[in-house]
Amino acid sequence: MTHTPIEVLLTQPVPEAIDAQLVSAYHVHRLYQQHNPQQLLDEAAPRIRGVVTGGAKGLSTALMDQLPALEIIAISGIGTDAVDLRHAASRGIHVTTTPGVLTADVADLAMGLIISSLRRLGEGERLVRDGLWGRVDLPLARRVSGCALGIVGLGQVGKAIARRAAAFDMSIAYNGRREQPETGYRYEPDLVELARSVDVLVVAASADGGQVLVTAEVLEALGPQGYLVNVARGKLVDEDALVEALREQRIAGAGLDVFVDEPQVPPALLDLNQVSLQPHRGSATLQTRLEMGRMVLDNLQACFRGEVPPNRVIDS
């Protein structure tokens, strides 16, 4: 008897080694390659039992509802804010993530953005590439070592950033849902007061709630000598207020890996020398993406064997 392969929808590229394993185990439909995605869905949707996606892309409720046979949404990442967990649960669909493995990479990038922003590395590189070294003087940069660092969200990533910052002799304070006295860091329950007391504010919070945390008031408190770094989600920051604060030099600079409407970046940010920009690459190392891919494969395999996937998210 001929075995009919399980059909899986892939919303974005994965590393070649993971792609090869997906193809060997499943019939893979590549939504991201389709000129007319709806045409693919009209033909294949009734048979698709799994979706592989990223944390930022997720899966819209409208698309979820086009997949009547769907059993699992396997997210390569830790964010679940782009998936309606309650709706998935109401249909008995597993939602899985890849926790733990991307913590170090995201924390590394946060430190890179802190250094890049304060030391104006992007501006310096552009000057060298444009052949202006020796002809144009750059403003003096800000010392990184010894800064006061505020962390918004002291989860796994936040703690990893704090450990790295300690090696730069930074004083560390944080804001979060609860105080964690065992860390030894200063807890500040008021985010405005945290911003007022630090040189650099790093956003590392979960975006599952979806609300803006860094408001115009927070940016005003951060002040003209303060820097904002965001490695969490763009929607946690009032992006319009941030652009205005940077334009009017009411904050000193920013390092951003995430934006509200990715891959769209506010054009005003592109012209500001005091801003370091990255295309949402917090976990984008080969080593981490391979490990994330292996976890995705494990989650899919368990689901299709009729087991509870090892990294299933439970909607609270």
The answer to whether domain 5-96+284-303 has CATH 3.40.50.720 is yes
CATH class assigned to 101-275 = alpha beta
Q: Which helix (H) or strand (E) holds 52?
A: strand 48-54
Tens digit of pLDDT at every position of the chain (316 positions): 557 999 999 999 999 999 999 999 999 999 999 999 999 999 999 999 999 999 989 999 999 999 999 999 999 999 899 999 999 999 999 999 999 999 999 999 999 999 999 999 999 999 999 999 999 999 999 999 999 999 999 999 999 999 999 999 999 999 999 999 999 999 999 999 999 999 999 999 988 777 999 999 999 999 999 999 999 999 999 999 999 999 999 999 999 999 999 999 999 999 999 999 999 999 999 999 999 999 999 999 999 999 999 999 986 5
Outline which parts of the chain fall under CATH 3.40.50.720.
Answer: 5-96+284-303, 101-275
Torsion of CA 96, 97, 100, 102, to 10 degrees: 160
Q: How many CA atoms lie within 13 A of 2 on its CB side?
A: 2
* Residues with catalytic roles: 233, 262, 280
- Residue 3: CA count within 13 A, CB half-sphere: 5
pTM: 0.91
